A and B are shown apart, each in its own frame.
Chain A
Amino acid sequence: MNETAKTPPVAPSSKTIGTVTVPEPVFSCRDVDVFYGDKHAIKKVNIDIGRSQVLAMIGPSGCGKSTFLRCLNRMNDTIVGARVEGMIQLDGHDIHDKRQDVVQLRARVGMVFQKPNPFPKSIYENVAYGPRIHGLAADRAELDEIVNTSLRRAGLWEEVKDRLNNPGTSLSGGQQQRLCIARTIAVNPEVILMDEPCSALDPIATARIEDLIDELRESYAICIVTHSMQQAARVSQRTAYFHLGDLVEVGETDKIFTNPQAKLTEDYITGRFG
């Protein structure tokens, strides 16, 4: 970890209620704007993301929480017409800096998507893909070891150990999502971004993923976008509430759900809209 990372000051214009900063953040975002063509999707967002904790992002559909998540590993670069402004620092270095290689950034900041999207390859190859392209394993034995560890940490090993050569797409939805998580942690990232990882899963598979998130929190900083307030309450330590591109409120999860400060947050979590 980079001990020299300092928290940059938050612009005084920030209207976000609550504490946006944390000590020794892994990510510091200041005045982040995102435009899709003429549409202003994210407006001057200031937020820090802490180490070894889960940040949940909630808000009604179209509020920009997924868009913001995709800023953090520059996945918005792939969208034609998308433009990101403002400063996003990972360990004190701007991720939009010319010296920051986007491929390396994505190796440090892994992502799990809404719909499980394993590669149409074997289970083994799915997990081995990241270590392979980044050259993390010196030989086959080491690669086997990485695949084994990653599948164990994702809680999938016992279910698939006898059929590592079966296609990843042959697994159930929940297993596929855990395979995607195993694939992400196989490259040993610092941060894991999860974009509604349970929205396509049944409650049992969801519970398993939530347990997994809780375990992974010890080693990784995790950002999760979710539509389920119960899920946010269960898995996260901090919660951020987005509304129409604005970051309305950030704070300890307990406080947000029991004692929200902003009227909009209160309306949302009590189910008055959204």
Chain B
Amino acid sequence: MNNTTKTAEQTQALVRKSLARRYRAERRFRLYGIAAVAAGIGFVIFLFGTIFAQGASVFRQSYVQLTIVYDPETIDPAGTRVPEELVAADDQALVRAALRERFPNVEGRSNLRELYGIVSSAASIELQRRVVADPSIIGQRETLWLLADDTVDMLLKEKVWRSAPEDERRLSDQQIGFIDALRADGTLKLRFNAAFLSNGDSRDPEQAGVRGALIGSALTLLITLLLSFPIGVGAAIYLEEFAPRNRITDVIEININNLAAVPSIVFGLLGLATFIGFFGMPRSAPLVGGFVLTLLTLPTIIIASRAALKAVPPSIREAALGMGASRLQMVGHHVLPLAIPGMLTGAIIGMARALGESAPLLMIGMVAFIVDVPSGITDPATALPVQVFLWSDLPERAFVERTSGVIIVLLLFLIVMNATAVILRNKFEKRW
């Protein structure tokens, strides 16, 4: 039987038979694709869903309304009104007095201690700040919303159950009574949690905020971007456009590709040994964090930038060289403008990875407990992913929602950063 002996009809019949098989294969492949995409989207929704479900509540916090009497006897018995004296004053006593005034029937040390536990220790810090800022309020009365304790907050947010046996709760039946009384007349309620966005870290969950980690991450990434983008693009241009092709450049190329796959914690150790150990830079500083993350993102940016340069059509290079442009003019005037969007894509990927890195930052001490918001690149700081790591480890129930809250802030940071880069890239993108 020879192929040439088949009639046209026989051939068509065979084609039809194979057609059905081919379409089946295609349908199957599409199904796999849809299933894979659906699974991916499902996991993302689940992840984001749980994070938002747990973390959304962090943006509201329980506050108690109390009428504070700025008693001169307590704050400034000597009547000096100098800030040093005012700072040393026992502002806690003002809060306690206000609580006793609110619940005049409570008596006895242990009952009073339970009453005082309703309000956060942050309240007295707030009062102290007000007195130092304006000593003329001493002797006056003021009605204020003060932070409630995190246990109270958890009860209001129904993250702990009042139906649990009393010895398994951190709030006693009596305290729940106080809380119910306060809620009944509207002096205990959830309000917008400005402290979460304006405070640094704290051992008290109700006082702990993300600002320190946010500023730390921003400073670290700023240094990373300022260093890694120019260095990475410069290295890519040199390697792609100027360097001779020989054994040395081959070795460099292989090593750049290998560096992109090195575990990030190794870069952390390298940074610890060189920047802190050898050059004596400060520990826990965004400066060093930026250096370490630069090492981490450089290979990514170099590889992406080289790919972008390679993708520029050779006809443009020939046109420029044929016009008598020098090599640098060819690159600067024609190749680079066309390659910039691809390079920015590389930078987005690199920076997104740098933003999410925690391991190398642990090695250089950005994992320390730091209350102050950093004001410069050499101040001790932590970063958002490290803050996630730190808070997820703490026992208080209120830190669970804070962990999710800082993840939400981290994701928002990432979205803003990427959106900016994408807008920039679209601006540079030339119609070809």
Q: Could you list which residues of chain A lie within 8 angstroms of chain B, going by C-beta atoms? A: 73, 75, 78, 80, 103-107, 110-111, 113, 115, 117-120, 129-130, 133-134, 167, 169, 180, 183-184, 187
CB B302 to nearest CB in A, in angstroms, measures 21
A130 touches B430 (CB 8 A): no
A133 touches B329 (CB 8 A): yes
Pick the contact of B322: A73, A120, A134, A169 (CB < 8 A): A73
A169 touches B431 (CB 8 A): yes
Please, how many angstroms separate the alpha-carbon atoms of A51 and B319 in the complex?
A: 24
Please, how many angstroms separate the alpha-carbon atoms of A169 and B337 in the complex?
A: 15
Query: Given A117-B315, A120-B338, A167-B431, is A183 in contact with B323 using a C-beta cutoff of 8 Å?
Result: yes
Please, how many angstroms separate the alpha-carbon atoms of A120 and B430 in the complex?
A: 8
Please, how many angstroms separate the alpha-carbon atoms of A75 and B323 in the complex?
A: 11
Q: Is B334 an interface residue (CB 8 A)?
A: yes
B431 touches A113 (CB 8 A): no
Q: Is B181 an interface residue (CB 8 A)?
A: no
Please, how many angstroms separate the alpha-carbon atoms of A184 and B432 in the complex?
A: 22
List the B side residues contacting A104 at CB < 8 Å: 324
Q: List 19 additional contacts besides A103-B326, A113-B315, A117-B315; criterion CB under 8 Å.
A: A73-B322, A75-B321, A78-B317, A103-B325, A105-B324, A107-B323, A110-B323, A111-B318, A113-B318, A113-B322, A117-B313, A119-B320, A120-B430, A129-B325, A130-B323, A133-B325, A133-B326, A167-B431, A187-B324
List the B side residues contacting A113 at CB < 8 Å: 315, 318-319, 322
Please, how many angstroms separate the alpha-carbon atoms of A90 and B265 in the complex?
A: 61
B245 touches A75 (CB 8 A): no
Report how many residues on chain B are interfacial, defined by Cβ distance under 8 Å: 22
Q: Could you list which residues of chain B lie within 8 angstroms of chain A, going by C-beta atoms? A: 245, 313, 315-326, 329, 333-334, 337-338, 430-432
Query: Given A129-B333, A133-B329, is A119 in contact with B322 using a C-beta cutoff of 8 Å?
Result: no
List the A side residues contacting B338 at CB < 8 Å: 120
Specify the chain A residue showing the minimal Cβ separation from B244.
A80
A111 touches B325 (CB 8 A): no
Please, how many angstroms separate the alpha-carbon atoms of A130 and B330 in the complex?
A: 12
Task: List 27 A-B pairs, Cβ < 8 Å.
Answer: A78-B318, A80-B245, A104-B324, A106-B322, A106-B324, A107-B324, A111-B322, A113-B315, A113-B319, A115-B315, A118-B319, A119-B316, A119-B333, A119-B334, A120-B337, A120-B430, A120-B431, A120-B432, A129-B323, A130-B323, A133-B324, A133-B326, A133-B329, A167-B431, A169-B432, A183-B323, A184-B322
Please, how many angstroms separate the alpha-carbon atoms of A77 and B342 in the complex?
A: 28
List the A side residues contacting B432 at CB < 8 Å: 120, 169
CB B293 to nearest CB in A, in angstroms, measures 34
Specify the chain A residue showing the minimal Cβ separation from B432.
A120
